[in-house]
């Protein structure tokens, strides 16, 4: 996948994109990440990218001219895109579904906001879609852009050793994942649940499903309203509800 990120702070990406799974995906040509700085498109002596807000008030607003020139150069090359993603705390909350849909695209273009945000007319000029990573305000859109790229990357064939591990993670079936354990069998008096040591695949499958339902019920009951539950799930959920009373 080709990914273009417009940011005033490209150096922020070197750590997260230079380590671990994303770095390996880049080295294997599975991810072609290009960073663009709108400041390089500012034409005045001071290479200005922000200005004071019309109407007064605190802070600065990202100017349109350098950003539009930068974005137009980005869009003029490579595969066509139907969506320009823009970071914003006022955007749609990023969800598993949005990540999956984005992973189907050939290309991802992200504009990172900064200061008090971007001149609103950006949205009238380009097919933008704003996304938020949560109901809190960050200093800039760089971390949200990293979050989107990281989450999308996991669903690109070849990026994870086994794509099935992403497909078995939280949210893939609408539920939270069951608890996981590794060696040793006992640590400071805490034992791994016996069923996981039994080697009995069917019992392990049922235990995991039940614990997945238990976690979801306790931590994110809202997810249960949307999840597609089988008759077995409903039976297990009933057991969990009784046990938790």
Q: Which of 43, 137, 190, 228 binds ligand SAM (CB under 6 A)?
A: 137
Q: Which of 82, 97, 139, 242 binds ligand SAM (CB under 6 A)?
A: 139
Q: Which is nearer to ligand SAM, 60 or 224 (CB)?
A: 60
């137009």: which residue's tokens?
72
Residue 89 annotated as catalytic: yes
Residue 79 annotated as catalytic: no
Q: Which one from 107, 116, 129, 208 is the annotated catalytic residue?
A: 116
Determine the 3-state secondary structure of 244 from DSSP. Answer: helix
**Among 50-58, 133-141, 160-168, 235-243, which window interacts with ligand SAM (CB under 6 A)?**
133-141
The HSE-up count of residue 36 (CA atoms within 13 Å, CB side) is 22
Residue 38 touches ligand SAM, criterion: CB under 6 A:
no
């809190």: which residue's tokens?
136
Q: How far is the CB of 169 from ligand SAM (least distance, A)?
A: 22
What long-range pairs does 136-140 form, CB within 8 A, spacing at least 24?
Answer: 136/89, 137/89, 138/89, 139/114, 140/7, 140/8, 140/9, 140/87, 140/112, 140/113, 140/114
Q: How far is the CB of 33 from ligand SAM (least distance, A)?
A: 19
CA nearest to 114, candidates 94, 137, 91: 137
Q: Please give the positions annotated as active site.
A: 89, 116, 154, 169
- Applying CB under 6 A, the residues found at the interface with ligand SAM are 87-90, 112-114, 116-117, 132-134, 136-141, 144
């Amino acid at each position: 996948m080709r990914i273009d990120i417009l940011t005033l702070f490209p150096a922020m990406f070197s750590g997260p994109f230079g380590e671990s799974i994303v770095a390996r995906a880049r080295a294997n040509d599975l991810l072609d990440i290009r960073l663009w700085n709108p400041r390089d498109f500012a034409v005045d002596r001071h290479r200005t990218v922000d200005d004071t807000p019309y109407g007064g008030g605190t802070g600065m607003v990202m100017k349109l001219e350098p950003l539009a020139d930068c974005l137009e150069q980005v869009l003029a090359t490579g595969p066509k895109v139907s969506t320009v993603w823009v970071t914003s705390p006022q955007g749609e909350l990023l969800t598993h579904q949005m990540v999956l849909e984005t992973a189907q695209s050939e290309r991802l273009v992200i504009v990172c906001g900064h200061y008090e945000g971007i001149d609103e007319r950006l949205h009238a000029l380009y097919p933008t879609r704003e996304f938020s990573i949560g109901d809190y305000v960050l200093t800039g859109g760089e971390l949200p852009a990293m979050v989107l790229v990281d989450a999308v990357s996991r669903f690109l064939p070849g990026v994870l050793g086994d794509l099935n591990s992403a497909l078995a993670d939280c949210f893939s079936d609408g539920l939270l994942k069951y608890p996981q354990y590794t060696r040793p069998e006992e640590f400071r008096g805490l034992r791994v649940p016996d069923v996981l040591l039994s080697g009995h695949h069917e019992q392990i499958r049922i235990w995991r499903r039940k614990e997945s339902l238990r976690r979801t019920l306790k931590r994110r009951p809202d997810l249960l309203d949307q999840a597609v539950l089988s008759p077995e799930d409903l039976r297990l959920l009933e057991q969990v509800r009784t046990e938790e009373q």
